[in-house]
Amino acid sequence: MHRNPAPTVDVAVIDGERLLLVKRSNEPYKNRWVLPGGFVEYDETVENAAAREVLEETGVQIRLESILGVYSDPERDPRGHTLTTVFIGRPVAGEPVGGDDAADAFWVNLESLDSSILAFDHPLIVEDLKRWLKENSTFWSSKKR
């Protein structure tokens, strides 16, 4: 029998200089901050899972803009080997409020974010996001909400 990593998604939702974060209400890392995301359900695309997870956890509807990357370190999640597709998205409707398995949701200034508050490998993802935004500043600034 094959053992496979569990597919997950995370979304860096960007609104100007702000990044959307959620506070976990469950272990692992209960009460720590993360990007919204979660497990992909059977018969669901990663794109649909990303939009669903953000809406469930934050009440914010999003439009996916790009894939930031795939993160697959077997040690990234203490529950077991996960493989996550990380998207970059923009909000299109709604205001952040914690829902589903998120105790809270809020916007934080991306440049002043202290990544030590983040769980899992999300400090690495945020650093990759900052680099991506700098490298794609012309593309990003031309997008309208």
Judge whether 1 lies within some domain.
Answer: no
pLDDT one-digit tens code per residue, 28-59: 999 999 999 999 999 999 999 999 999 999 99
Domain count, the chain: 1
**pLDDT reported for residue 2:** 85
With a cut of 50, say whether residue 145 has pLDDT above it.
no
Judge whether 113 lies within some domain.
Answer: yes
Judge whether 69 lies within some domain.
Answer: yes
Closest C-alpha among 33, 57, 58 to residue 113 = 33
Cβ 12 vs Cβ 86: under 8 Å: yes
CATH of the domain at 92: 3.90.79.10
Host domain of residue 69:
6-140
Q: Would you call 48 exposed, middle or buried from its count of C-beta atoms within 10 A (0-12, 13-18, 19+)?
A: middle
Judge whether 145 lies within some domain.
Answer: no
